Structure 1
Amino acid sequence: MSEDSPMSEDSPIQKEPRPIRRKAAKAKRGINSTSNTSKFLEKIARQSALRIEIDKKVQEDDRAMAIEFTKEREYVRKEREYQRKENEEKNDWETMAIDTSHMSPETKQYWKLERKAIMRRRLFRDDGPSNTDWLNDENP
C-alpha cells in the first residue's frame, strides 16, 4: 500500500502521526526556546523599568523626607534659641531686681558686677562699642 493508493484515503483505520525525529525535535525546541527567550527578555525589561520607576519614587520620597527633617531640625533649633533667650532675659530681670540693701559688702559687690555684665551684654548686643565708659570696672 502506497500512500498514493486510493485505498489509503478510504481506509477506516486512522494512521497515527509519525513520531518526531531527532532533527525535527531540535528545530522545534529552537523555535520554542527563541520564543521563550524573547518572552523572558521582555519580562526582564518590564521588571527593570518597574524597578527604575520604584527607585525614582523612593529617591523622591527620601529627598522629601530629608527636606522635612531639615525644616524640623531648623524649627527646633530656632525654638531652643528662643527659649534660651527668653530664659536669659528672665534671669537678667531677676538679677536686676535683686534688693542688695540687706546683703554683706562682698555679696553686694558680686551682684553689682552681675548687673554691669547684664548692662554690657544688652548695650553691646549688635551695634558694637558705644561710649559707655561708666560701665568699665576701673570706675567705682
Structure 2
Amino acid sequence: MASSVEVGGSWSTQEDIALYQSWVNVSHDPITGSEMKFHHMWSKIHGEFCQRLGSIRTEMALSSRWKLLNKELGKWRNALTKARENIRSGQNFTDEIIQAQMWFGAMGQGKKSFVHFQCWEVVKDCSRFKIIPTGPPVVLNETPLHDSTSTDSPLDSPMEMEPPLPRPSRPIRRKAAKAKRGGTSNNECVQLLEQIAKNTSLRIERDLKRDEMDVAREEAFVIQKQKAQEKDMDDREMKIMAMDTSHMSPETKVYWKLRRRDVMRRKIFGRRT
C-alpha cells in the first residue's frame, strides 16, 4: 500500500485539524462511539475527513498521521500539567505556556517545540487529553484511589488494542523520592525562567544605553556640522569685507558694496538675536 507521503504529500495544518475534528466526531459519538470496531471507526473517520476536504488520503494514511500527532499531543498535555503544577502566584497564561514549552522540549524523542495548537484546541476537552493534576497518588491498602492516565476505549491505538499491563505496587518511599525529584526539576525550571527574565532585562537595558549613545553622537555631529557651517560663513564674509575694489570697474564696485552691506546687516541682526 502506498505511504501517506506518496498519496497526498506533506500534511497541512488544515488537514491535521480536519483529521482530529473527524476523529472527535466519530469516536466520541455518544451513541455508537464506544461500540465501534477499529476498522469500522477509521472507515467512518476517513469518510468524514474526505467529505470535509475532498482529500485523496487513504485510511492508512489517516491512522498513521493520527498516531504521530497523538504522541505530540500527549507530550503537550503532560508538559502543560507540569507547568500548571509549577505556576506561581502573579504569573499568567504566557508564563504557563513558556514553562510548558520547556517541559515539552526536555521530554525528548520528538520536536523541541509544540506547534499543533489548533489541533490541541479540538481535542483538549476529550477525556484522553484532559489535564489532570499529577503528584504522589493517594493509596489505600496499596490500591490507588485515582489514576492520572485516562484512555478512551477503543481509542488507545489507531490500528489495534493491547491489554493493559499489570501495574506492580511500589513502596511509599519510592513514590516520595520520585515526588522529591519532580520538585527539584520544578525548582530548576523556575531558576531557568528567572535567569531568562534577568537576561532579557539586561539586554533591554543594554539596548537602551546603546540608543542613548547613538542619539548623543548624532547630536554632537549636528552641533559640529553647524559650527563648521558658521566658520565657513565667517571666512566668506571676511573675504568680502577685505576685498580690494580700487582696481575694479564702477559696476563691480557697486556689486561688492552691496555684498558688504548684506554682511553688515547679518552681523547687526545676529548680535540683536
TM-score w.r.t. structure 2 length? 0.34
Q: Work out whether 1:111 is the aligned partner of 2:256.
A: yes
Q: Report the equivalent of 2:58.
A: none
Match of 1:84 among 229, 242, 247: 229
Q: For residues 177 and 271 of structure 2, what CA distance do their matches in structure 1 show?
A: 83
Q: Measured at CA, do residues 36 and 106 of structure 1 come closer, stay the same or move farther in structure 2, by a change above 3 Å?
A: farther
Q: CA deviation at 1:59?
A: 1.5
Q: CA deviation at 1:48?
A: 1.1
Q: CA deviation at 1:69?
A: 1.7
Q: Work out whether 1:94 is the aligned partner of 2:239.
A: yes
Q: For residues 65 and 121 of structure 1, what CA distance do their matches in structure 2 show?
A: 40
Q: For residues 252 and 181 of structure 2, what CA distance do their matches in structure 1 show?
A: 95
Runs of at least 5 residues in structure 2 that lack an aligned partner in the other structure? 1-165
Q: Report the equivalent of 2:209.
A: 64
Q: Report the equivalent of 2:267.
A: 122
Q: For residues 57 and 96 of structure 1, what CA distance do their matches in structure 2 show?
A: 59
Q: For residues 186 and 235 of structure 2, what CA distance do their matches in structure 1 show?
A: 72
Q: CA deviation at 1:122?
A: 0.3
Q: Per the alignment, in what secondary structure is the counterpart of residue 124 of structure 1?
A: helix
Moved runs in structure 1, 4+ residues, more than 4 A?
A: 27-37
What residue identity is the alignment partner of 1:56? S
- Spell out, residue by residue over 1:92-124, the C-alpha distance to the aligned partner (whole angstroms, 9 max, x if none): 101111111222233222211111111000011
What residue identity is the alignment partner of 1:78? I
Q: CA deviation at 1:54?
A: 0.8
Structure with greater helix percent: 1
Q: Report the equivalent of 1:50.
A: 195
Q: CA deviation at 1:70?
A: 1.9
Q: For residues 244 and 216 of structure 2, what CA distance do their matches in structure 1 show?
A: 44
Higher relative contact order (CA 8 A, sep 6+): 2
Q: For residues 22 and 81 of structure 1, what CA distance do their matches in structure 2 show?
A: 84
Q: Per the alignment, in what secondary structure is the counterpart of residue 84 of structure 1?
A: helix
Q: CA deviation at 1:29?
A: 9.6
What residue identity is the alignment partner of 2:209? A
Query: Any residues of structure 2 matched to 1:33-48 within 5 Å, and which?
Result: 34=179, 37-48=182-193
What residue identity is the alignment partner of 1:75? A
Runs of at least 5 residues in structure 1 that lack an aligned partner in the other structure? 1-20, 129-140
Q: How many aligned residue pairs are there?
A: 107
What residue identity is the alignment partner of 1:58? R
